[in-house]
Structure 1
Amino acid sequence: MKKPFLLSAAMLALAISGSLQAQDHSSSAPHSKFYLKIGGGYFFSVSPGQFPNVGPYPPQDLHTEYNPTNANPLDTLSRKVLTGSYGEGVRGGLSVGYNINKYMAVEGTFNYFHSKKNLMTRNLTTIVGSGKELGGVESHGYVNAIDFAPSLVLSPGMEKVNPYVRFGVVVPLWGRLYIETDAYQLSAPPPSIPVPGAMIQTTIHRKEEIKPNPTIGFQGALGVSFNVSPRFDIFVEAEYRNVPVKSKEKEITTYEEAHTLVNGTTGDKIQDLPGRSLGDLSVAEKNTIYVTTLDKNSNTEINESGTKTFYKNDNEASNDLKSYINIGGLGLNAGLKFRL
């Protein structure tokens, strides 16, 4: 009789102990209303537009053919307008949030964005009959940016699976549009280089950075949060962003120009000729300030000599028309939420 009685007493003691522990747990201080989120995702372009010009080259994929027997030696074989958006790419962010109540919260998110590379212009010239390339220009551009996105979050306050909507604004803090250009040209040498059958092969590699004007955009998301522990949630969401950006100023940061005398038939190198580097560019060639209107007071191009461009004032930044891009899009995000 003693054994059953002792067993019953032990079970009762365990039950009372468990009840007291549950009461202590329920009376413990709740989590802070603050939380952190870390996430990332990929965005797709939903509103592609025509890319801005790259210097004198419009946003076109142009293939022309050189035929010296024609009055107009250049015939257009194909022409295509290049469109797209800088909103396509990868994005990662860190958020700080505060739960106002069970159904409403406010968030502030710092995001880093890197867009995919876009073909902005391509211009190819070949010789009729042989298809040999006389020259070509090809430019690709991409965007890196950091922004701050404050938003309001609304949900039905469910515990395990909680859908929500989030909407707010986007304030870009820093950003650059980088454009990399490679050019190639074959041309006849000047009379000062009397080498029969020779051609001058010119190659140029250039990188420029375009700084934006201050702007503001809009963002909204529809998502679901899955509770996995008292402190952690996993979330997935679809987000839309619209962030129009216009150019402010441009600087060429890399410039490599090489000239080589080659055999016009075989392409074999004969000798290197003097070229230009970044330090040889004038202030006007290296720097550009964008304006909404060009007039007689604008510092615009007046002449060209080979690869060098002359402006009204070579010692001041040149002027060009403002261009517009959009770094918004439709994306899919996923991440982790931690309640403090």
Structure 2
Amino acid sequence: MKRAILLSIVMLMLTGLYPLMAQDQAKAAPSKFYLKAAGGYFFSVFPGQFPDVGPYAPHDVRGTYNPATGQSTVISDKVLTGSYGEGVRGGLTFGWNINRYIAIEAAFNYYHSKKNLMTRQVTTMQGSGQVAGSIESHGYANALDFAPSVVISPGYEKINPYVRFGMVIPYWGRLYIETDAQTATPVSANVVAQTTIHREEAVHPNITLGFQGALGVTIPVCNRLDVFAEAEYRNVPAKSKKKEVTAYEENTRVVNTTNGQVISTQHRSLGDLSTAERQTEYVTTLDQSSNTPVGSSGAKTNYKDDNKPANDLKSYINIGGLGANAGIRFRF
């Protein structure tokens, strides 16, 4: 009888301890592999001066032109600053838990920045306020990156905070620049050449290496599904390598301002541009051997060698920033 009672007590104890033992075992051996899907928005942290757009500096300039004297006067001049680190980002992350406290991740992200005003110059006719000439350029960046990182957490079951840090390796990216310009150039008395230009350019970057760091929290929803939110900082500098003009439309009308009659028209498209006008290779130093502009014929820019890519100084932009991400994590 005593043996039966003792055996019953032991069985009851083992039955009560089994859930605790299973729970401890689950803590000790969490799901090894997981997949995360996330999206977020980033803000610019350290804005700087934008790079030049061809011969135009990153300034917002307003001026007037006196047709009687031919004198131009600058009314205001403002330096344009900002960053390509503000925009949306989304991607997939593959993770592996080494143990309860440490994991490694490999993320693949797509980034699209907001459009920034890079240069603007507006000249009006003195007295009338009519626009004599204007140029305005906007730019935005797109990028795909690979971001390996290490994740450290206390390994809590419910609300689990974590810190993540690692590198950012952009393997594709472009800075797109769109420019619209219009000019009115006097040809003779009462005759003006009116020109409108639309140009699109793509700047290719050099391979670069950036840094990332994040502080977040993970909350389980069900057996294999978690939600997470985090604050992340990225520092990803990008240096220009080359540039190509991808679209170009130029239309010129010679007009008699007395009666509005169009005397003649002229059109240039992408195929009419010289190699130097279409392609640019960036260098750290410009010298006598560099293929630089030597003059212009109307809207056409002439170079030392029109049949070779032009040279220009390298520029730098940053596609990093401070932002917030949120998403889901599926544990296998």
1:244 alignment partner in structure 2: 237
2:46 alignment partner in structure 1: 47
The DSSP-based 3-state class of the residue aligned with 2:187 is coil
The DSSP-based 3-state class of the residue aligned with 1:328 is coil
Amino acid paired to 1:108: A
1:13 alignment partner in structure 2: none
1:228 alignment partner in structure 2: 221
1:159 to partner: Cα distance: 0.8
Q: What TM-score results when the alignment is normalised by the length of structure 1?
A: 0.88
1:292 alignment partner in structure 2: 284
Amino acid paired to 1:185: T
Say if 1:126 and 1:115 are closer, same or farther in 2 by CA, change over 3 A: same
Say if 1:269 and 1:218 are closer, same or farther in 2 by CA, change over 3 A: farther
Amino acid paired to 1:321: L
Distance in 2, matches of 1:320 and 1:334, equals 41
Amino acid paired to 2:280: T
Cα distance per residue 1:231-268 (max 9 Å; x no partner):
011000000000000100000010000012335368x5
1:23-38 mapped onto 2 (5 Å cutoff) = 32-38=31-37
1:200 to partner: Cα distance: 1.9
Q: What TM-score results when the alignment is normalised by the length of structure 2?
A: 0.90
Distance in 1, matches of 2:72 and 2:143, equals 41
Paired positions, count? 314
List structure 1 runs of 4+ shifted beyond 6 angstroms.
27-31
1:93 alignment partner in structure 2: 91
Say if 1:103 and 1:184 are closer, same or farther in 2 by CA, change over 3 A: same
Amino acid paired to 1:146: L
1:269 to partner: Cα distance: 6.0
The answer to whether the 8 Å contact 2:256/2:263 transfers is no
Residue number among 124, 130, 133 corresponding to 1:132 in the alignment = 130
1:275 to partner: Cα distance: 1.5
The answer to whether the 8 Å contact 2:30/2:99 transfers is no
Distance in 2, matches of 1:263 and 1:43, equals 52
Extract unaligned runs of 5+ from structure 1.
1-15, 191-195
**Alignment pair present for 1:315 and 2:314:** no
1:1-340 mapped onto 2 (5 Å cutoff) = 32-68=31-67, 73-189=71-187, 197-264=190-257, 268=260, 270=262, 273-340=265-332
The answer to whether the 8 Å contact 2:63/2:123 transfers is yes
The DSSP-based 3-state class of the residue aligned with 1:94 is strand
2:8 alignment partner in structure 1: none
Identity across aligned pairs (percent)? Answer: 62
